[in-house]
Amino acid sequence: MSCRLETAAAAALLAASAPLSLVSAASILMFDGPPVFFRQTRLGLHRRPFSLLKFRTMRDGEVTRVGRMLRDLGWDELPQLVNVLCGEASFIGPRPLTPEDVERLSAEHPEMEGRFAVRPGITGLIQVLGTRGAAFSIAVENAYAHRATALHDAQILSLTAGAFLLGKDRLRRIVARFPAWKNQLLFLDF
C-alpha cells in the first residue's frame, strides 16, 4: 500500500473508529483511572526510533480488566493509527520492537536485520496469529519484508478484521483448522 493511500486510510479509520476510541478511553478512565494512553519508544524503518501510542491496558505490571478486553478485541491498538498517519508505521508489517528487545534479539539472531527493510505494522502475521518463539517470529517477519504481496496483505487485513470482531483467541482456533492455509500465510510453503 502506498504511503499516501495509507495516510488517507489512517485518517478515515481514525474518524470512523472515534466512537470505539471514546468508549475505550472512557472505560479506562472510569475503571482504571488515568492515564489513558501508553507511549513507548520502538524502532521502525532502518531502526529509526519513534513513540508508539496505545491505550493503556496495565497498572502496576498487571493487565487490568478493561485492558484484557481491549487487548482481546485489538482495540488497544487503535491509537497506533496516529503512528500510521505520521508515517512512522504501516498498517501491515513486522511487530515494532523496543530498542532493548532489538539489542537482545540481534545478539542471538543477526538475521533479524531484514525486518527493518519495511516500516513496522499495526498488524501482521505474528500480531494476529501469535508466536512460537523469537526465531520463528524473526523468520516469518523477514519473509514478510521480502516476499509479501498485495494478496498476502489482503489476507492479513481479513484476519485482523476477524480478530477485531471475534477476538484473537477465537480467530486463532478457527485458523488452526486450516493448516495448509496457515502455513502459506506464514511463508512455510516453500
Determine the Cα–Cα distance for residues 80 and 160; give it in Å rounded to an integer. Answer: 14
| Crossing angle of helices 65-73 and 18-27, rounded to 10° | 160
* Integer angstrom CA distances of residue 9 from 22, 149, 158, 173, 188: 19, 19, 16, 29, 30
Q: How do beta strands 90-92 and 62-63 pair? A: unpaired
Determine the Cα–Cα distance for residues 75 and 126; give it in Å rounded to an integer. Answer: 17
Residue 89 and residue 50 in contact, taking contact as beta carbons nearer than 8 Å:
yes
Tens place of pLDDT per residue across the chain (190 aa):
678 889 999 999 999 999 999 999 999 999 999 999 999 999 999 999 999 999 999 999 999 999 999 998 889 999 999 999 999 999 999 999 999 999 999 988 988 888 899 999 999 888 888 777 888 888 888 888 888 888 888 889 998 888 888 888 888 888 888 888 777 777 665 4
Note if the pTM is more than 0.85: no
Grid coordinates of 105 = 534479539
Burial (CB count within 10 angstroms: exposed 0-12, middle 13-18, buried 19+), residue 148: middle
